[in-house]
């Protein structure tokens, strides 16, 4: 109080001198600014940090560290409660400063140490305590963060595992889509043709055993045995798969029906794995059905629906041989159809869901199959011709992988055919001989 | 500090000339009257005080509060206005 009186009584020059002595910036003391400057001088004399605090803010506002350090230098004098606001602010800065400089590693210690250290600093300024507690909470928060950081790797480790878990399932879900790849399709196609040929050969053997007994593949008897054994007890897998087949085969069969009335029924019978096992048809008929089903069931894929269509065309091409058997398939069909449905409903509800999906798929598959069937129908003339020719004359080579497309006729055969056709049309041989003679004549004339 | 007022931008845009104190940002009719009573009738006189205090924010704000009983916001607005102007034109 005495100081303040003294300051008020001082002249401007004296006041300025005292300010400089206090380490305050040399600011001209004017009548207008005197009040403010006296206030600051009083603050600096009485306690402390105010003078240091203000210059810091003017110099660079955002750096709080340096002024805090300066304040720390003043601190030993002790803070007075009378300088309330400013001192609190300064102590605040100090505490922040101190905590910032403390290494982050020793945080648990810091939390304990701060309250211990705090009282000497904050005793004068009681408001500093809550701030410190806040700081402590901050540190706690940081610890939590550390824990999170520790936990994160675990999460990261877990994440990869989940996709892995899913991955094995996904193929199952997407298996249908995967099946649509061209290679698969081609394989199916080839297999279908193979099966059809097997079937055909088997039929031929039944009808005329003397015709192609030697050309059967070695596996054939084994497979037939398997089929005969396995057919009575159908594999659930096999039964699930043929469902789409049944959906697709019907339209397909319808498309084929215009040409061959016998075909559709037979193809349907072939499409179902079920029928042969359940049908009480005569032995020969059952056999035919079994063999036809073997052609499709051996593959166990939904493309067998498509597969069955070629087989029908194939069989129908030689339908004259065993139209009776096909008819038998027709007769056996309706009963088995009912059987299968009853079985499915009885056995599992999951199958129904799958059946819906299958039905939905069957739209696509049906379209695809019908498209294919049309194309095949367009090409059917060469194909049937080929098969008929094979049946009549040279026979088949089951070893070679075939598709239904006529392009896959061996190159030599194509070339031969081309030569033959050209020869037929233009009489190349005679022309060639003629040209040779002309050339010889020309050479003779030229050299002599 | 989200943005500057129209008054601020207008004042900082050009030399202050003989503008009255009320042209300063943060100083309206009331504060302008008090400042005028205290002898600071022109903006350049306030600028002079601002310069005499060596652009010290704390001191200038204190002075503003002391002279015309300005609020903290008014004081800081005025300070920012003069500071920006001086950075532009000094």
Position A373 confidence tier, pLDDT thresholds 50, 70, 90: confident
Max avg pLDDT among A119-123, A175-179, A367-371: A367-371
* CB atoms B59 and A28 under 8 Å: no
* CB atoms A37 and B59 under 8 Å: yes
Position A183 confidence tier, pLDDT thresholds 50, 70, 90: low
Tell me: pLDDT of A322 over 70: no
Mean pLDDT of A229-236: 45
Higher pLDDT, residue A426 or A321: A426
Distances (CA, A) of A284 to A24, A25, A225, A281, A405: 120, 119, 16, 8, 32
* Cβ pair A38, A8 in contact under 8 A: yes
CB neighbour list of residue B20: distance below 8 Å, 6 or more residues apart: B32, B41, B42, B43
- Percentage of chain B beyond pLDDT 90 is 84
A23: left (phi over 0), alpha (psi -120 to 50) or beta: left
- Percentage of chain A beyond pLDDT 90 is 3
* CB atoms B52 and A32 under 8 Å: yes
* CB atoms B55 and A58 under 8 Å: yes
Tell me: pLDDT of A270 over 50: no
Residue A423: predicted pLDDT? 79
- Min distance A62 CA to chain B CA atoms (Å): 14
- Degrees, nearest 5: CA angle A10-A11-A16: 90
* CB atoms B53 and A58 under 8 Å: no
Q: What is the pLDDT of residues A135-170, one digit of tens each?
A: 444 444 444 444 444 444 444 444 444 444 444 444
Residue B34: predicted pLDDT? 92
Residue A50: predicted pLDDT? 45
B39 at A interface, C-beta within 8 A: yes
Max avg pLDDT among A26-40, A208-222, A245-259, B10-24: B10-24
Mean pLDDT of A19-41: 85
Least confident of A8-17, A69-78, A430-439: A69-78
Least confident of A61-70, A280-289, A362-371: A280-289
Tell me: pLDDT of A369 over 60: yes
Handedness of CA A421, A422, A427, A429 (dihedral sign): negative
Tell me: pLDDT of B84 over 50: yes
Position A370 confidence tier, pLDDT thresholds 50, 70, 90: confident
Max avg pLDDT among A301-305, A394-398, B72-76: B72-76
B37 at A interface, C-beta within 8 A: no
Residue A18: predicted pLDDT? 86
Token reading at A233: 């007890």
Nearest CA in chain A to B61: A36
Which chain B residues are Cβ-neighbours of A28 within 8 angstroms? 52
Q: A377: how many CB neighbours lie within 10 A of its CB?
A: 16
Tell me: pLDDT of A378 over 70: no
Q: What is the pLDDT of residues A41-79, one digit of tens each?
A: 888 888 754 444 444 444 445 545 555 444 444 444 444
Residue A19: predicted pLDDT? 85
Position A442 confidence tier, pLDDT thresholds 50, 70, 90: very high
Max avg pLDDT among A214-218, A334-338, A339-343, B30-34: B30-34
Residue A402: predicted pLDDT? 52
Query: Residue A357: helix, strand or coil by DSSP?
Result: helix
Residue from B34, B37, B56, B69 to probe the interface with A (highest A Cβ count within 10 Å): B56
Distance of alpha carbon A124 from alpha carbon A49, whole angstroms: 14
* CB atoms B54 and A25 under 8 Å: yes
* Cβ pair B80, B53 in contact under 8 A: no
Residue from B49, B63, B70 to probe the interface with A (highest A Cβ count within 10 Å): B63
Tell me: pLDDT of A273 over 80: no
Distance of alpha carbon A28 from alpha carbon A34, whole angstroms: 9
CB neighbour list of residue A341: distance below 8 Å, 6 or more residues apart: none
Position A186 confidence tier, pLDDT thresholds 50, 70, 90: low
Least CB-CB distance to A58: which of B38, B58, B66? B58
Tell me: pLDDT of A20 over 80: yes
Higher pLDDT, residue A225 or A309: A225
Mean pLDDT of A5-30: 84
* CB atoms B56 and A33 under 8 Å: no
Nearest CA in chain A to B46: A32
Max avg pLDDT among A252-266, A315-329, A394-408, A432-446: A432-446
DSSP string, A259-306: T-SSHHHHHHHHH-SHHHHH----HHHHHHHHHHHHHHHTT-STTHHH
Least confident of A45-54, A224-233, A284-293: A284-293
* CB atoms A54 and B58 under 8 Å: yes
Mean pLDDT of chain A: 54
Nearest CA in chain B to A55: B56
Residue A171 CB burial class (10 angstroms; 0-12, 13-18, ≥19) = exposed
Which chain B residues are Cβ-neighbours of A57 within 8 angstroms? 57-58
Position A28 confidence tier, pLDDT thresholds 50, 70, 90: confident
Q: What are phi and psi of B42, to 5 degrees?
A: -110, 160
- Percentage of chain A beyond pLDDT 70 is 23
* CB atoms B52 and A30 under 8 Å: yes
- Min distance A20 CA to chain B CA atoms (Å): 14
Q: What is the pLDDT of residues B9-37, one digit of tens each?
A: 999 999 999 999 999 999 999 999 999 99
Position A221 confidence tier, pLDDT thresholds 50, 70, 90: very low
Q: What are phi and psi of B20, to 5 degrees?
A: -70, 165
């Amino acid at each position: 109080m005495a100081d303040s009186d003294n300051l008020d009584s001082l002249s401007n020059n004296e006041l300025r001198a005292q300010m400089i002595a206090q380490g305050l910036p040399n600011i001209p003391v004017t009548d207008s600014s005197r009040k403010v400057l006296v206030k600051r001088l009083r603050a600096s004399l009485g306690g402390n940090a105010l003078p240091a605090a203000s210059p810091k803010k003017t110099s660079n506002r955002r750096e709080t560290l340096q002024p805090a350090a300066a304040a720390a230098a003043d601190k030993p004098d002790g803070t007075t409660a009378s300088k309330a606001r400013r001192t609190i602010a300064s102590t605040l800065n100090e505490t922040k400063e101190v905590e910032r400089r403390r290494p982050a590693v020793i945080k648990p210690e810091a939390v304990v140490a701060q309250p211990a250290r705090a009282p000497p600093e904050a005793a004068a300024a009681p408001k500093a305590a809550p701030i410190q507690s806040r700081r402590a909470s901050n540190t706690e928060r940081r610890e939590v963060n550390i824990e999170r950081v520790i936990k994160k790797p675990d999460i990261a480790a877990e994440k990869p595992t989940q996709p892995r878990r899913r991955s094995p399932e996904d193929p199952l879900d997407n298996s249908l889509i995967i099946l649509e790849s061209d290679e698969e399709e081609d394989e199916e196609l080839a297999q279908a043709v193979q099966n059809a040929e097997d079937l055909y050969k088997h039929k031929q053997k039944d009808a005329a055993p003397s015709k192609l007994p030697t050309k059967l593949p070695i596996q054939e008897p084994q497979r037939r045995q398997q089929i005969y054994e396995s057919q009575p007890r159908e594999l659930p897998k096999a039964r699930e798969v043929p469902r789409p087949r049944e959906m697709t085969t019907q339209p397909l069969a319808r498309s084929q029906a215009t040409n061959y009335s016998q075909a559709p029924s037979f193809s349907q019978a072939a499409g179902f794995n079920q029928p042969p096992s359940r049908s009480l048809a005569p032995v020969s008929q059952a056999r035919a059905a079994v063999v036809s089903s073997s052609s499709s069931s051996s593959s166990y894929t939904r493309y067998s629906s498509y597969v069955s269509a070629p087989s029908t065309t194939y069989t129908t091409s030689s339908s004259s041989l065993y139209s009776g058997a096909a008819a038998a398939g027709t007769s056996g069909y309706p009963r088995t159809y009912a059987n299968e449905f009853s079985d499915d409903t009885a056995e599992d509800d999951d199958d129904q869901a799958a059946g819906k999906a299958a039905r939905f798929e069957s739209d696509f598959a049906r379209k695809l199959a019908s498209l294919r069937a049309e194309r095949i129908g367009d090409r059917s003339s060469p194909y049937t011709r080929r098969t008929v020719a094979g049946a009549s004359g040279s026979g088949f080579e089951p070893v070679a992988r075939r598709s239904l497309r006529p392009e896959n006729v061996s190159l030599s055969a194509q070339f031969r055919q081309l030569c033959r056709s050209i020869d037929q049309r233009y009489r190349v041989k005679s022309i060639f001989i003629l040209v040779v003679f002309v050339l010889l004549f020309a050479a003779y004339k030229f050299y002599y | 500090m989200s943005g500057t007022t129209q008054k601020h931008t207008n004042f900082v845009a050009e030399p202050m000339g003989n503008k009255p104190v009320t042209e300063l940002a943060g100083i309206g009719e009331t504060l302008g009257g008090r400042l005028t009573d205290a002898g600071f009738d022109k903006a350049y006189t306030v600028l002079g005080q601002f310069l005499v205090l060596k652009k010290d924010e704390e001191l200038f704000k204190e002075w503003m509060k002391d002279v015309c009983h300005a609020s903290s916001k008014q004081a800081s607005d005025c300070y920012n206005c003069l500071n920006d102007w001086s950075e532009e034109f000094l």
